[in-house]
Structure 1
Amino acid sequence: MKSFFLKFGLTTALTVSLFNGKASAETNTDWASKCDASNTAIPSNQRTNCLLTYAAINADIPPEVVKAVALNESGWDQTKVSHDGGIGIMQITNQPRYDQQRLKDDIAYNIQAGLEILNEKYNLKKGDGSYLLPRINGANRHIIENWYFAVMAYNGNVPANSPLKQVDGSVNTNAYQEKVFRDIERQSYLRLDDKTPPVLAKYPFKTSDFEYNTNSSAPIIFKIPLYTINEGLHESPHFMKKGDIAYVTVDGAKLRPEPNTTESSTKPTPEKLSKYTTLTIYDEFQFDSKSRDNQFAWFKVKKSDGKIGFISSAYITKKNDLTKPSVSGVTNGKFYNKDVKIHFNEGTATLNGSRIKNDYLVTKAGSYTLEVKDSVMNTTIIKFTIDKTKPAIPTMNSVSDHSTTVTGTAEAGSTVKLYINHKLQKSVTAASNKSYKFAIAKQKSGTTVSVTATDKAGNVSSTKTLTVLDKTAPALPTVNKVSSKSRAVTGSAEKYATVKIYRGSTLIGQGSVYSSGKFSVAIKAQKTNTYLKVYVIDKSGNKSVRTIKVV
């Protein structure tokens, strides 16, 4: 650790460790027992990896950050003592609060001291109690990118470590924290080279965010206390516990039978997993069983199909967000008879497989499947239909004044509404065979009966209307006495009905009933004892008949 801060009296004011509530003189390395190397001067690479990892977890700092800092400070070399007095793997410099000999002899003690100092940098505050170093809005300690400025301060928040070059606004690739974060990408996320797209999220820096004199070693003044980075932040997977849900972050990540990268014909072929595959953490992470160089850890995980294997920490992250995107404007299973606008609160969307923007207007009729996925593949699927075509006009079977049902056909699944004299009575759903049926009370002849069909989208058909038919026979006519001398048959019957007189099958007279209800039909004189049939026929053709005998 370089001593830029010491020149300005910032570090010397911090004499108490800010985690575990212990003074630096009581620096605790109990966590080192997990690696069985707390008193080993030159441990193996994987034991060093173990020590750095568990020290970081104990300090509630992402191990990826700690390992990259140690790599930049000493190349993980505990025996290193620098010309500026930096000691050991974490290059502890000018820190009299620590046992100087133990810093050289005890790697765990050296690591713990370095993490206490790094943690102090993270928590540096101004006189007003606000944080001195910028942070990411809403990010916690487990977010790797949130340690960017603490890493800078570990080396010194001086002009040489400005994130941007003031002269042209380009990234200062020689800044200490930029080197550390490149190593995080290479070692913990296996980024191949600088030509490969960056893994970690980038701050939206502007040169106006920082105030400093390039000709001075005075500390940088930070103008922006909080940065907003909406996507791409990385939470260290090392804090995941058994039972946590994780997802795969890259396509082709291998689920291996053992916690190492060795492959052979005698072992099962590793399964390649798709990005966003959901996994359940099956056990605590472990270190590579073969390689001395791999800095990442291995997690034993279980797939949704029950398969168990090992995956590198470089390729998974905890799935904290289990909430599906919300969608407005359309509802699953609904039909619409108008244009609809699709709005979603996050993620990306496809409609029938094609990418769409937010607030997309759908105008064409058809069946649609909308898929909205957020950054961790929580998915909302909505199926809907736009139908702007009216259903065909329903059919309706004739209705008489004897009818107690109304029947017919309409578009299958449509809502058929029944109106009597233009007043809504009830509704039913047309069956899959298109039939519908209503029960009704008997209606008077001349009553209008109407039906409409409304499809699932709300389109309404034209109206089918029928008039209730008169199927009731007129009352029997009253016929006055007819003698052999009579020249007419008289009596009373339904007004305006037709009266027909038959002798056998021969029509002998015909007339109409007057508005008074009386009738008189002229006939020729008939013989005594002749039988005559007097038919009364109403306007609907219904008949009644009375038989009389000529006297």
Structure 2
Amino acid sequence: MKSLLLAAGLAGCLAIGLWPANVAHAAETTDIQEKCTSFGILKKGTNPSFQHMNCLLTNAALQAGIPPEIVKAVASKENNGWKQFDKKGQPVISHDNGIGIMQITVPKNYDPVKLEKLKYSILYNIDFGVNLLASKYKNSELPAVLPKEKSVLESWYFAIMAYNGIKPMNSPLVQKTGKPNTGAYQEKVMSLLNADSFLGDTNLQKPVFSTNNFQYDPTKSDNIKFIKKSYSITKRLHASRYLMKKNDKAITSWDDPSFTHVKIRKAPTTESSSKYIKKNTPLTITGSFKYDETPKSINQFVWFPVIVPGEKGTWYISSAYITKAMSKPSVNPVDDNDTSLSGKAPKGMKVTVKKGSKTIIAKNADSKGVFNLVIPKQKAGTILSVTYQDSLNAVSPAFSVKVADKTAPSAPKVSAITSKTTMVGGSAEAYSTVLVKKGKITLGKNTADKYGKFNVKMKAQKTGTILSVTATDKAKNTSNASTYKVKK
């Protein structure tokens, strides 16, 4: 946060709720330090290794309920290299008085004790910046990117913007041309996030903006006035990878269509042996994520231990290439007499039923995850595809259900039968099994051909004998009987 307080003044920030009261009292969090003790002890005036800093930023973010990808990208934009101290062991202070790794800028009359902590305590500096960022997300004066869920990376767009300042220079669009403002702070942070946490293969989505969504004078430094208060994105959104845990089912996933395979490794480092696996390979996470075991590594992503089908032992995969797997909806059997289709999906999610590429119906599951959708009667053998769309606009794997045949064939049509007939002929449903019976005794049976024609051998019957002829289809549905009296 380089210029917010210097440009607007503390009073201006308070007026729009951008400077949270609790941030001024941010304290070092021993929990964060304890989770990173494997990297060593923090020393005043000395920068920890990159992976030690990776651990500190990650755990501070998780403790504050922020995706670590967001915090690390902000830290990278504010302080390339994640350095709290310079080569002489003095705190890094920018030309606009931004302090340390999170580049905190405070007013001139700021508490000197807390100022010293911002300068010389890495944990305090990180904790201060992380809590400040969290306060931006909660600020109701800023527009919301829906769904406003903390785990969704795209929903942090305006909070990131406010961390640096809601000034004309950070407008999403250039007011004069209406073109995207690629130089805006939040745009640069999102670009760093994609490059470092996702290795450049993820298409983070942005709202569709219009110049009339904002009011500001580009020649002045007054805050932007937001006219539109919320934005919905219909394309697939991205959740933080850090929320996955042991026993979760996952798949290999990335957005770049030019990638067909990705590497898994025998240890959590790019220096270990590797194999290639395909996109959408199912994985099972076997434990907590790991930081790169090479301390000097500048990888910002983490490694998940996984079981890979067909491979022995535990492998590791970068968090850049993994996402939590979606389950299929469950669907109850449906037959050719039904006018509804029911089942279960995650509560409130939109369920879609398709026949081929044609959508038959789309409707949300209820608060218990139950859906019961009205559909037209379908022909037996029709394949229906049922999916649901989650809050990230991701579509689940399809559950395919085959429409069962519960409709009996029509009664067979039979040619005249006399006391000399030894071959009963006629027509019935194609490929159905035709039975000729006298009472409960079966006299003969045969299968109708593809045109429905049949011929059933039997012994000649006496004049006046009553015969019944039925057809049973492949689904074991039996027709009503056609009855015939043997003629002379």
The equivalent position to 2:209 in structure 1, one of 205, 213, 217, is 205
The equivalent position to 1:311 in structure 2, one of 300, 314, 317, is 317
The equivalent position to 2:75 in structure 1, one of 60, 70, 73, is 70
**Structure 2 counterpart of 1:181:** 190
**Structure 2 counterpart of 1:118:** 133
What secondary structure sits across from 1:26 in the alignment? coil
Amino acid at match of 1:165: V
Amino acid at match of 1:91: Q
**Structure 2 counterpart of 1:16:** 21
Whole-Å separation in 1 of the counterparts to 2:304 and 2:398? 26
**Structure 2 counterpart of 1:501:** none
Q: Which string of whole-angstrom CA distances, capped at 9 and with x for unpartnered residues, describes residues 415-450 of structure 1?
A: 879999xxxx99x9x98867999xxxxxx9768766
Amino acid at match of 1:185: N
Q: How much has 1:458 moved relative to structure 2?
A: 12
Residue-pair matches, total: 416
What are the residue-to-residue correspondences of 1:243-254 with 2, within 5 Å? 243-250=247-254, 251-254=260-263
Q: How much has 1:135 moved relative to structure 2?
A: 1.9
Kindly report the root-mean-square deviation, in angstroms, between the aligned alpha carbons of the 2 structures. 4.6
The equivalent position to 2:93 in structure 1, one of 81, 90, 104, is 81
**Normalising to structure 1: TM-score of the pair?**
0.63
Judge which range, 371-380 or 38-47, deviates more: 371-380
In structure 2, do the counterparts of structure 1 residues 257 and 348 end up closer, same or farther at CA, with 3 Å as the change threshold?
Answer: farther
In structure 2, do the counterparts of structure 1 residues 399 and 134 end up closer, same or farther at CA, with 3 Å as the change threshold?
Answer: farther
Q: Which string of whole-angstrom CA distances, capped at 9 and with x for unpartnered residues, describes residues 53-88 of structure 1?
A: 111111111111111101111111212201221110
Whole-Å separation in 2 of the counterparts to 1:182 and 1:348? 37
Q: Which string of whole-angstrom CA distances, capped at 9 and with x for unpartnered residues, describes residues 296-346 of structure 1?
A: 000111235575311101111234x4342879xxx76x569xxxxxxx965
**Structure 1 counterpart of 2:306:** 301
**Structure 2 counterpart of 1:467:** 485
Q: Which string of whole-angstrom CA distances, capped at 9 and with x for unpartnered residues, describes residues 209-245 of structure 1?
A: 2222222222122223222223421111112221222
Q: How much has 1:272 moved relative to structure 2?
A: 1.1
Amino acid at match of 1:88: G
Q: Which string of whole-angstrom CA distances, capped at 9 and with x for unpartnered residues, describes residues 159-197 of structure 1?
A: 1111112222211100000000000000001117xxxxx
The equivalent position to 1:382 in structure 2, one of 381, 385, 401, is 401
Q: How much has 1:151 moved relative to structure 2?
A: 0.6
What secondary structure sits across from 2:21 in the alignment? coil
Percentage of pairs with the same residue: 38
What secondary structure sits across from 1:358 in the alignment? strand
Whole-Å separation in 2 of the counterparts to 1:419 and 1:431? 9
Q: Does 1:229 align with 2:233?
A: yes
In structure 2, do the counterparts of structure 1 residues 45 and 412 end up closer, same or farther at CA, with 3 Å as the change threshold?
Answer: same
In structure 2, do the counterparts of structure 1 residues 11 and 246 end up closer, same or farther at CA, with 3 Å as the change threshold?
Answer: farther
What secondary structure sits across from 1:299 in the alignment? strand
What secondary structure sits across from 2:320 in the alignment? helix
In structure 2, do the counterparts of structure 1 residues 317 and 462 end up closer, same or farther at CA, with 3 Å as the change threshold?
Answer: closer
**Normalising to structure 2: TM-score of the pair?**
0.71
Amino acid at match of 2:4: F
Whole-Å separation in 2 of the counterparts to 1:49 and 1:222? 34
The equivalent position to 1:91 in structure 2, one of 89, 98, 103, is 103
CA contact (8 A) 1:62 1:142 kept: yes
In structure 2, do the counterparts of structure 1 residues 357 and 408 end up closer, same or farther at CA, with 3 Å as the change threshold?
Answer: closer
Q: How much has 1:29 moved relative to structure 2?
A: 4.1
Structure with greater helix share of residues: 2
Whole-Å separation in 2 of the counterparts to 1:431 and 1:227? 68
What secondary structure sits across from 2:22 in the alignment? coil
Amino acid at match of 2:174: K
In structure 2, do the counterparts of structure 1 residues 216 and 348 end up closer, same or farther at CA, with 3 Å as the change threshold?
Answer: farther
What are the residue-to-residue correspondences of 1:93-112 with 2, within 5 Å? 93-94=105-106, 96=110, 99-112=114-127
More contact order relative to length (CA 8 Å, sep ≥ 6) = 2
Whole-Å separation in 2 of the counterparts to 1:345 and 1:145? 21
In structure 2, do the counterparts of structure 1 residues 359 and 371 end up closer, same or farther at CA, with 3 Å as the change threshold?
Answer: closer
In structure 2, do the counterparts of structure 1 residues 452 and 350 end up closer, same or farther at CA, with 3 Å as the change threshold?
Answer: closer
CA contact (8 A) 2:245 2:287 kept: yes
Rg: which structure is higher? Answer: 1
What secondary structure sits across from 2:323 in the alignment? strand
Whole-Å separation in 2 of the counterparts to 1:16 and 1:396? 95
In structure 2, do the counterparts of structure 1 residues 27 and 47 end up closer, same or farther at CA, with 3 Å as the change threshold?
Answer: closer
Please list every run of 5 or more consecutive structure 2 residues that lacks an aligned counterpart in the other structure.
86-91, 255-259, 338-348, 362-374, 389-393, 449-453, 457-461
In structure 2, do the counterparts of structure 1 residues 303 and 436 end up closer, same or farther at CA, with 3 Å as the change threshold?
Answer: farther
Judge which range, 2-11 or 222-231, deviates more: 2-11
In structure 2, do the counterparts of structure 1 residues 397 and 335 end up closer, same or farther at CA, with 3 Å as the change threshold?
Answer: farther
**Structure 2 counterpart of 1:292:** 297
Q: How much has 1:393 moved relative to structure 2?
A: 4.5
CA contact (8 A) 2:197 2:300 kept: yes
**Structure 2 counterpart of 1:324:** 329
Whole-Å separation in 1 of the counterparts to 2:426 and 2:277? 59
Whole-Å separation in 2 of the counterparts to 1:445 and 1:252? 77
Whole-Å separation in 1 of the counterparts to 2:69 and 2:122? 18
What are the residue-to-residue correspondences of 1:331-370 with 2, within 5 Å? 351=356, 356-359=357-360, 369=383
Amino acid at match of 1:318: K
CA contact (8 A) 1:325 1:346 kept: no
Whole-Å separation in 1 of the counterparts to 2:154 and 2:446? 60
